[in-house]
Copies of this chain bind each other. A is one copy, B any other.
Amino acid sequence: MSDGFEEIAGGLAAVAKGFHARGWLLGTSGNLSAVVQREPLQIAMSPSGADKGELRPEQILSIDEHNHIVGQQGGKPSDESLLHIRVVKQLGAGAVLHTHSIWNTILSDFYAPQGGVKIEGYEMLKGLQGVPTHEHAEWLPIVENSQDMPALAETIGDTLNQHKAAHGFLLRRHGLYSWGENLAQAKRHIEILEFLLETIGRTLRIREQVL
Which residues of A are at the interface with B, using a C-beta cutoff of 8 A? 18, 22-23, 26-29, 51, 53, 100, 102-103, 105-106, 109-110, 121-124, 127, 132-135, 145, 147, 171, 173-175, 184, 187-189, 191-192, 194-195, 198-199, 201-208, 210
Q: Across the interface, which residues of B come within 8 angstroms of A109, CB to CB?
A: 203
Given A173-B134, A174-B134, residue A198 in contact with residue B124 (CB < 8 A): no
- The listed residue (B27, B106, B184) touching A124 by CB distance below 8 A is B27
- The listed residue (B106, B122, B184) touching A202 by CB distance below 8 A is B106
22 inter-chain pairs at a CB distance below 8 angstroms, sorted by A residue, are A26-B124, A26-B191, A26-B192, A26-B195, A28-B127, A29-B127, A29-B192, A51-B184, A51-B188, A100-B123, A100-B124, A100-B195, A102-B198, A103-B202, A105-B124, A106-B199, A110-B206, A122-B174, A124-B174, A133-B147, A135-B147, A207-B210
Q: Which 10 A-B pairs have the closest CB atoms?
A: A123-B174, A27-B192, A27-B191, A26-B191, A27-B127, A26-B195, A27-B188, A133-B147, A122-B173, A105-B199
Most buried by B among A124, A184, A189: A124
Q: Across the interface, which residues of B come within 8 angstroms of A202, CB to CB?
A: 102-103, 106, 201
Alpha-carbon distance between A189 and B51 when the two chains are bound, in angstroms? 11
| CB atoms of A18 and B195 under 8 A apart | no
| CB atoms of A147 and B174 under 8 A apart | no
Alpha-carbon distance between A195 and B20 when the two chains are bound, in angstroms? 12
Distance in Å from the Cβ of A50 to the closest Cβ of chain B?
10
Alpha-carbon distance between A188 and B188 when the two chains are bound, in angstroms? 27
- The listed residue (B102, B145, B147, B192) touching A199 by CB distance below 8 A is B102
Distance in Å from the Cβ of A139 to the closest Cβ of chain B?
18
| CB atoms of A206 and B100 under 8 A apart | no
| CB atoms of A28 and B188 under 8 A apart | yes
| CB atoms of A201 and B195 under 8 A apart | no
Alpha-carbon distance between A127 and B205 when the two chains are bound, in angstroms? 30
| CB atoms of A102 and B195 under 8 A apart | yes
Q: Across the interface, which residues of B come within 8 angstroms of A133, CB to CB?
A: 147
